[in-house]
Amino acid sequence: MGQFAGSSSAVFALLAMGVFGAPAPAADAWPSRPVKMIVSFAPGGTTDILGRIVAEKLTESLGQPFIVENRAGAGGIVGAQAVAKAPPDGYTLLATGIGPLVVVPAMNPNAPYDPIRDFTHIALFGGPPAVLAVPRDLPLKDLNAFVAFAKTRPGALKYGSPGVGSHGQLIFEMLKQEAGLSVIHVPYRGSGQVVTDLMGGHIPAASTTLTGVAEQIKASTIRGLAVSSAHRLPDFPDIPTYAEQGYPKLVSNIWFCLVGPARLPENIVKRLNAEVIRAFQQPDVRERLGRDAIDPEPLDAAAFTAFVKSEIKRWTPIIKAANMESE
């Protein structure tokens, strides 16, 4: 009887080890199936382009398809809200940027998500700087000449940007505060019409992403007066920065990024962060981004989270002071 009892105990112990001692096939096995990458804007824009570059590289490096799904609407809220509500398992991610994470919540106190609490901030993609441009026929050669020109016409001068809350508007509104200008904002729907009206002389100035006016500046059909990058750009050596013209606070690039739902497992975050940084270091990607003056900073997830918080702190007062409201 005792021998039988002992044998039973040994068998039970072995069974218990088999049931409870086996490693769980959870986060370490990620990804074991396709990953959905929601892009919070329509196809063709910078968010979509960068998201698709990252999706392609992650598919290659992680061995599972990263499938891009565009969910545009409400300034990026639709896509962001979908990811905020998704399970934190690493199979639903969001390619987004400063608009949905900084600008929209500042303009809309009823935004359906908190940009910090409801997301895991994974990796920074970077983005292009903004440029202040004027028509070729306007006899202004630099930023200080523009500021002097605007001060002689308080409340009468207008500037265009790609839209309410765009990076172009943020930069110009900060310039207005720093220089004490009174200039009226004319929002467009994208940079295309801004450029058309600028070239036609319908607006005397535009503040927009450099990528939107690069070809026209190179062709000398419009003139760039200041760029918001930290240093002059190799492809545009004749455009001085805001900083070197006396406005050191106006150093800022529009930025895009990868985020996931809150409470994403740390090992998945670290792996994604490393793979995104590696992707942006590859020669073919650097060549593609270089054409748009995009030079991503390789931040780890903690540093990127701190960066997002600093951007919220930086731009929210500017947005409030300019009375920006969601369209």
Over residues 221-278, the pLDDT tens digits come to 999 999 999 999 998 999 999 999 999 999 999 999 999 999 999 999 999 999 999 9
The pLDDT value given to residue 225: 97
The pLDDT value given to residue 109: 83
Q: Residue 2: enclosing H or E segment and its boundaries?
A: helix 2-20
Residue 60 pLDDT grade (very low, low, confident, very high; cuts 50, 70, 90): very high
Measured at the CA of 170, the angle between CA 229 and CA 213, to 5 degrees, comes to: 55
The pLDDT value given to residue 23: 43
Q: Which CATH number covers residue 279?
A: 3.40.190.150
Q: Where is the domain boundary, 224, 245, 266?
A: 245
Residue 43 three-state SS: coil
Asked, for residue 5, whether it belongs to a domain, the answer is no
Q: Over the Cα atoms of the chain, what is R_g? A: 25
- Does 1 or 188 have the greater pLDDT score? 188
**CA separation (Å) from 120 to 61, 88, 260, 266?**
21, 9, 5, 10
Q: Which CATH number covers residue 150?
A: 3.40.190.10
The pLDDT value given to residue 3: 42
Give the tens place of pLDDT for each residue, 69-106.
Answer: 999 888 899 999 999 999 999 999 999 999 999 999 99
Asked if pLDDT for residue 21 goes beyond 90, the answer is no
Share of the chain above pLDDT 90, in %: 74
Which strand ranges, in their side-by-side order, compose the sheet holding 35-39? 66-70, 35-39, 92-97, 256-261, 119-126
The reply to whether 261 and 120 lie within a common domain is yes
The reply to whether 180 and 123 lie within a common domain is no
Asked if pLDDT for residue 9 goes beyond 60, the answer is no
Please provide the average confidence, as pLDDT, over all residues in the chain: 90
Share of the chain above pLDDT 70, in %: 91
The pLDDT value given to residue 117: 97
Mean pLDDT value of segment 153-160? 94
Asked if pLDDT for residue 15 goes beyond 70, the answer is no
Residue 326 pLDDT grade (very low, low, confident, very high; cuts 50, 70, 90): low
Q: Which domain holds residue 294?
A: 36-127+255-321
Residue 310: both structure tokens together:
């600093």
Measured at the CA of 68, the angle between CA 26 and CA 123, to 5 degrees, comes to: 65
Residue 24 pLDDT grade (very low, low, confident, very high; cuts 50, 70, 90): very low
> Quick one: which of 221, 226, 250 has its CA closest to 238?
226
Q: Burial level of 64, CB count in 10 A (0-12/13-18/19+)?
A: middle
The pLDDT value given to residue 292: 81
Amino acid (1-letter code) at residue 266: E
Residue 327: both structure tokens together:
């369209």
- Alpha-carbon gap, residue 228 to 128, rounded angstroms: 9
Asked if pLDDT for residue 52 goes beyond 70, the answer is yes
The reply to whether 106 and 156 lie within a common domain is no
Residue 2 pLDDT grade (very low, low, confident, very high; cuts 50, 70, 90): very low
Asked, for residue 31, whether it belongs to a domain, the answer is no
Provide DSSP, 226-273.
EE-SSS-BTTBTTS-BTGGGT-TT---B--EEEEEETT--HHHHHHHH
Asked if pLDDT for residue 216 goes beyond 70, the answer is yes
- Alpha-carbon gap, residue 125 to 7, rounded angstroms: 61
- DSSP 8-state symbol, 101: I
The pLDDT value given to residue 327: 55
Angle between helices 210-218 and 191-199 (to 10 degrees): 30
The pLDDT value given to residue 38: 98
The reply to whether 157 and 75 lie within a common domain is no
The reply to whether 184 and 239 lie within a common domain is yes
Asked if pLDDT for residue 143 goes beyond 90, the answer is yes
